[in-house]
Amino acid sequence: MNPTSSIADIRAHITDTCSIGSDVSVISLECPAIAANARPGNFVNVKVNESSQPLLRRPFCIHDVRGNTIDIMVKNVGKGTNLLCESTCGASVLVLGPLGNSFGVDTVEFDTALLVSGGIGTAPMLFLEKTLAARGVPFMNLVGGRTRTDLLTRGLSNCRTSTDDGSEGFHGNVIELLKQQIQSGSVTGRLKVFACGPNAMLKALARFCKERNIPCELSLESIMGCGVGICYGCMVELNNADGEKETILLCREGPVIDGQRFTA
């Protein structure tokens, strides 16, 4: 978790917007204080306009950090995200961050990182990829979607893709693609999986990794009105160390969790 002193609540100007799909945009925000302290896996909470509607801020993974600028990936799914996707350069928004914990890359106890994502789950992977590359850690991106238009690979390198309908890449889901890559010997040595995507995919992936004793970290999504544990809107049920169910606030203990805590 980031120390409280490193969290900034600032008015940031939008410096660029780029559509990367029919309903997905990458928004660039000038946030020096946030960019300086961001770690892969962190998120920000954004108030999309000045009015009280929508009232709550929206959480977004930090997609990339470039100098004083952070990028977020936004899927247009409702009023708040629509307002953000339609914002123009020069507009300003309130941004709180960096929030949450980060992926475990400080102590590299693995030989190859496997970055597994589904749909908008690629949001944290560019920042993670760049951090791994800077440390000389080999990695592979495994990106899945229902069809080719769901594959959001912009900016990512060393990608393998899968689609449920076979329209691009491996014909099947991303976990089947992961299994194929392991069995074919394309990835070797001590592996570690870092993943983000729909909950059903993450649960299946967590089981897959547990059965094969592969360390696995998952970035989960939830409603996060405040981002700091005040509103209690992001309660998630997980397993504790004894295998019993417990409820956590994802903004405080996540969004990155040990995959074993997310298995049935």
Q: What confidence category does residue 264 fall into, taking pLDDT thresholds of 50, 70 and 90?
A: low
Where a domain ends, among 99, 122, 144? 99
CA distance 27 to 180: 34
Residue 65 above 70 pLDDT? Answer: yes
Q: Measured between alpha carbons, how far is residue 241 from residues 132, 218, 225, 246, 260 in Å?
A: 28, 17, 28, 10, 9
- Quick check: is 128 in a domain? yes
Specify the amino acid at residue 76.
N
Where a domain ends, among 79, 99, 119? 99
- What confidence tens digit (pLDDT) does each residue in 168-210 have? 999 999 999 999 999 999 998 999 999 999 999 999 999 999 9
Whether residues 14 and 118 fall in one domain: no
Whether residues 71 and 145 fall in one domain: no
Whether residues 110 and 22 fall in one domain: no
- pLDDT at 5 (0 to 100): 59
Residue with tokens 């809107």: 233
CA distance 52 to 172: 43
Whether residues 110 and 206 fall in one domain: yes
Q: Which residue has the higher pLDDT, 99 or 109?
A: 99
Whether residues 82 and 117 fall in one domain: no
- What confidence tens digit (pLDDT) does each residue in 19-57 have? 998 899 999 999 999 999 999 999 999 998 776 667 678
- Specify the number of domains making up the chain: 2
Residue 43 lies in domain: 4-99
Whether residues 114 and 204 fall in one domain: yes
Whether residues 47 and 60 fall in one domain: yes
